C-alpha cells in the first residue's frame, strides 16, 4: 500500500497542469445569482458542513487517516482539530478495515462518526464493514441497533493516478439495501447533503470528487445558513429544457451543463438533471422529464456495465415512461477498461462535453 499512497500524494502536483478535459468552466444558469452573494469551493462547503454539525451535535466526530494534524489528505478537514480537539478529530493508523470498523462500532454505541477514506479506492479494504455491518445491522437487529455513520471521501477518476485509483463506486454501494448513497456535484449539494447525511439515522456513503474540491460555486443565502439541509433521495433539475433529458451525477453534471450550452447554440433545449443521490434514486424526476422531452441520455464517470445508467435505463423501461421514449436511451460512461495511466489515453477513457453533445444529438436524430 505504501507505493499506492505515494502515488496519491503525488497527485496534487499532477493536478497543477490539468489537461483540457478537466479545464471545464462551471455554468450555473440559475436564478439566484446576484452581485452580493457568497461563493464557496466544494472543499470549503464540506468543511463547513462538518464544522456546523460538530458544533450542533457533540456526538459527531471525524475519524480517518491524517484527518487531524495533517488536515486531511485533501485538506477537507482543515482546522477541525484546532476547533474540536483530539477527542473529536481522530488520526488513526493505516488500516481501512480498522478505522471503518471502529467508526461502525462507535455508531452502534450511539455516536455519529464521519469516517473519511483518503479515497474510496482504499475503502475496498473496508467494504465488509460498510456493507455487512453498517448497512445491515439495523435490519438484522430488528431495529434494535441503528448505525448513524457517514463514510466520505473522494470517489471516481482523479487524474494520472492509474487503474487502481480511478474508480467510481456509485453503483457498488448503490446496490445495497440499508445504505444511502450520495454523489454531490456543487458546493451547495455538498453542504446540504453532507449535513443531511450526518443527521440521518442510517449509514450514508458520501461520494465526493477530487477534481471538484477546488472548484468555486455560488452559494445562496439559504445554503449559507447553519440549517441548510437537502433531502437525500431528491434530484435537482439544474437546467430546464424540452428536447432531451441528460441525467448525470458528480463531476459529469458540469460536463452535461456545458453540453447543454453547446446544444443551445443549435436550438436544442436540453434538460439537465443532477441526481445528487444514487440511493434512493429519484426516478420520478427522471420519468417526469422523459414525459416532457421523450429522450434520455445518462452520463457518469463509472464503468458502463451494471452502472448507474444501467439502473436508470432498467427502471425507465419497466415503467410507463418507456411509452414516452422516441429514441433509444444511451449511456455515456467511462470506457470499459481499467483506467489507463497514460494521460492521452486516460483523456479518452472518460466522458467529455463533446461526447455528451454528440450522444444528445443522436437521441434527437440530429447526427449521422
Partner 1 sequence: MFRTTTTTTTRLARARRAYSALHAGQKLPHTQSPIISKLDFFNSVTPKGQQIPTFRVLDGTGRILDGAECVDVDETLARRLYEHMNLLPTMDNVLYNVQRQGKISFYVTSYGEEATIIGSAAALLKDDEVLGQYRETGVLLWRGFGLDNVMAQCFGTKNDTSSKGRQMPIHFGSPEHHFHTISSPLATQIPQAAGVGYALKRSPDRRHNVAACFFGEGAASEGDFHAGLMLASTIPCPVVFIVRNNGFAISTPSSEQYNGDGIASRGPGYGIDTIRVDGNDVLAVLTAVKDARRRAQEQGRGVLVEAMSYRVGHHSTSDDSFAYRARSEVEDKKRIDNPLARFKLFLEHNGWWDEAAEEDMKARLKSDVMTAFKKAEKEQYGEVGNLFGDVYGGEVPWNLKEQRAELARLLGKYGKKWKPWESRLKRHVGQGKDVAGKDVV
Angle at 257 between CA 299 and CA 29, to 5 degrees: 150
In contact, 61 and 113? CB cutoff 8 Å: yes
Q: Strand 244-248 vs strand 270-274: parallel, antiparallel, or unpaired?
A: parallel
Q: Provide the minimum distance between the beta carbon of 86 and partner 1 in the complex, in angstroms, as a whole number.
A: 10
Nearest to 217, CA basis, from 251, 167, 177, 263:
251
Q: Provide the minimum distance between the beta carbon of 276 and partner 1 in the complex, in angstroms, as a whole number.
A: 14
**What residues numbered 309-368 form the site for partner 1, per CB under 8 A?**
none
Would you give the binding string for partner 1 spanning residues 223-252, x where CB under 8 A is met?
----------x-------------------
In contact, 84 and 60? CB cutoff 8 Å: no
Among 17, 177, 267, 344, binds partner 1 (CB under 8 A): 177
Among 129, 186, 274, 310, binds partner 1 (CB under 8 A): 129
Q: What share of the chain is helix, strand, coil (3-state, %, to 5)?
A: 40, 15, 45
Count of beta carbons in the 10 Å neighbourhood of residue 106:
19
Determine if 77 is a binding residue for partner 1 (CB under 8 A). no
Among 6, 145, 337, 343, binds partner 1 (CB under 8 A): 145
Determine if 200 is a binding residue for partner 1 (CB under 8 A). yes
Size (the chain), residues: 368
In contact, 211 and 165? CB cutoff 8 Å: no
- Of the ranges 25-33, 144-152, 156-164, 221-229, which one interacts with partner 1 (CB under 8 A)? 144-152
Give CA–CA dist 315/196, Å, rounded: 26
Q: Provide the minimum distance between the beta carbon of 178 and partner 1 in the complex, in angstroms, as a whole number.
A: 6
Annotated catalytic residue, options 96, 188, 210, 238: 96
Conformational region of residue 188, where left means phi above 0, alpha means psi within -120 to 50, and beta covers everything else: alpha
Determine if 103 is a binding residue for partner 1 (CB under 8 A). yes
Among 111, 196, 246, 349, binds partner 1 (CB under 8 A): 111
Question: Please, which residue, 31 or 143, has the CB nearer to partner 1?
Answer: 143
Determine if 20 is a binding residue for partner 1 (CB under 8 A). no
Question: Please, which residue, 98 or 214, has the CB nearer to partner 1?
Answer: 98
Helices (DSSP H) in the chain: which residue ranges?
Answer: 2-15, 42-56, 80-84, 96-108, 127-128, 137-140, 170-174, 187-199, 221-224, 252-265, 283-293, 308-317, 343-349, 353-363
Give CA–CA dist 122/2, Å, rounded: 12
Among 49, 106, 248, 356, binds partner 1 (CB under 8 A): 106
Q: Is 249 a catalytic residue?
A: no
Q: Is 96 a catalytic residue?
A: yes
Determine if 280 is a binding residue for partner 1 (CB under 8 A). yes
Give CA–CA dist 116/124, Å, rounded: 13
Output the CA–CA distances (angstroms, integers) from residue 286 to 35, 115, 186, in the order listed: 33, 31, 20
Determine if 31 is a binding residue for partner 1 (CB under 8 A). no
Place of cell 434512493: 280
Question: Please, which residue, 102 or 163, has the CB nearer to partner 1?
Answer: 102
- Of the ranges 142-150, 154-162, 206-214, 293-301, which one interacts with partner 1 (CB under 8 A)? 142-150
Q: Provide the minimum distance between the beta carbon of 48 and partner 1 in the complex, in angstroms, as a whole number.
A: 24
Question: Please, which residue, 37 or 284, has the CB nearer to partner 1?
Answer: 284
- Please report, as ranges, the residues that interact with partner 1 according to CB under 8 A: 87, 90, 92-93, 95, 97-111, 113, 125, 128-129, 132-133, 137-146, 148, 177-178, 180, 200-202, 233, 280-281, 283-284
Amino acid at each position: 500500500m505504501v507505493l499506492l499512497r505515494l502515488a496519491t500524494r503525488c497527485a496534487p502536483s499532477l493536478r497543477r497542469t490539468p489537461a483540457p478535459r478537466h479545464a471545464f468552466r462551471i455554468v450555473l444558469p440559475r436564478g439566484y445569482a446576484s452581485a452580493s452573494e457568497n461563493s464557496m469551493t466544494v472543499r470549503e462547503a464540506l468543511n463547513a458542513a462538518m464544522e456546523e454539525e460538530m458544533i450542533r451535535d457533540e456526538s459527531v466526530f471525524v475519524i480517518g487517516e491524517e484527518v487531524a494534524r495533517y488536515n486531511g489528505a485533501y485538506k477537507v478537514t482543515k482546522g477541525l482539530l484546532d476547533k474540536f480537539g483530539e477527542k473529536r478529530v481522530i488520526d488513526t493508523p493505516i488500516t481501512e478495515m480498522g478505522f471503518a470498523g471502529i467508526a461502525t462500532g462507535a455508531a452502534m454505541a450511539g455516536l455519529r462518526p464521519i469516517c473519511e477514506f483518503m479515497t474510496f479506492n482504499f475503502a475496498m479494504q473496508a467494504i465488509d464493514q460498510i456493507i455487512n455491518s453498517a448497512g445491515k445491522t439495523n435490519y438484522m437487529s430488528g431495529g434494535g441497533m441503528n448505525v448513524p455513520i457517514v463514510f466520505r471521501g473522494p470517489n471516481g477518476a482523479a487524474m494520472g493516478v492509474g487503474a487502481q485509483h480511478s474508480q467510481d463506486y456509485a453503483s457498488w454501494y448503490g446496490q445495497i439495501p440499508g445504505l444511502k448513497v450520495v454523489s454531490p456535484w456543487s458546493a451547495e449539494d455538498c453542504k446540504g447533503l453532507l449535513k443531511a447525511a450526518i443527521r440521518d439515522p442510517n449509514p450514508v456513503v458520501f461520494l465526493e470528487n477530487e477534481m471538484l474540491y477546488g472548484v468555486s460555486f455560488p452559494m445562496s443565502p439559504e445554503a449559507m445558513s447553519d440549517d441548510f439541509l437537502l433531502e437525500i433521495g431528491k434530484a435537482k433539475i439544474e437546467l430546464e429544457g424540452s428536447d432531451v433529458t441528460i441525467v448525470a451525477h458528480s463531476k459529469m453534471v458540469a460536463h452535461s451543463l456545458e453540453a447543454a450550452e453547446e446544444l443551445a447554440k443549435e436550438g436544442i433545449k436540453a434538460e439537465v438533471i443532477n441526481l445528487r443521490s444514487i440511493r434512493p434514486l429519484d426516478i420520478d424526476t427522471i420519468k417526469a422529464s422523459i414525459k416532457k422531452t421523450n429522450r434520455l441520455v445518462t452520463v457518469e464517470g463509472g464503468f458502463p456495465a451494471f452502472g448507474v445508467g444501467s439502473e436508470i435505463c432498467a427502471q425507465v423501461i419497466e415503467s410507463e415512461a418507456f411509452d414516452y421514449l422516441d429514441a433509444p436511451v444511451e449511456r455515456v460512461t467511462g470506457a470499459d477498461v481499467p483506467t489507463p495511466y497514460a494521460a492521452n489515453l486516460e483523456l479518452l477513457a472518460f466522458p467529455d462535453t463533446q461526447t455528451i453533445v454528440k450522444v444528445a444529438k443522436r437521441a434527437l436524430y440530429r447526427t449521422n
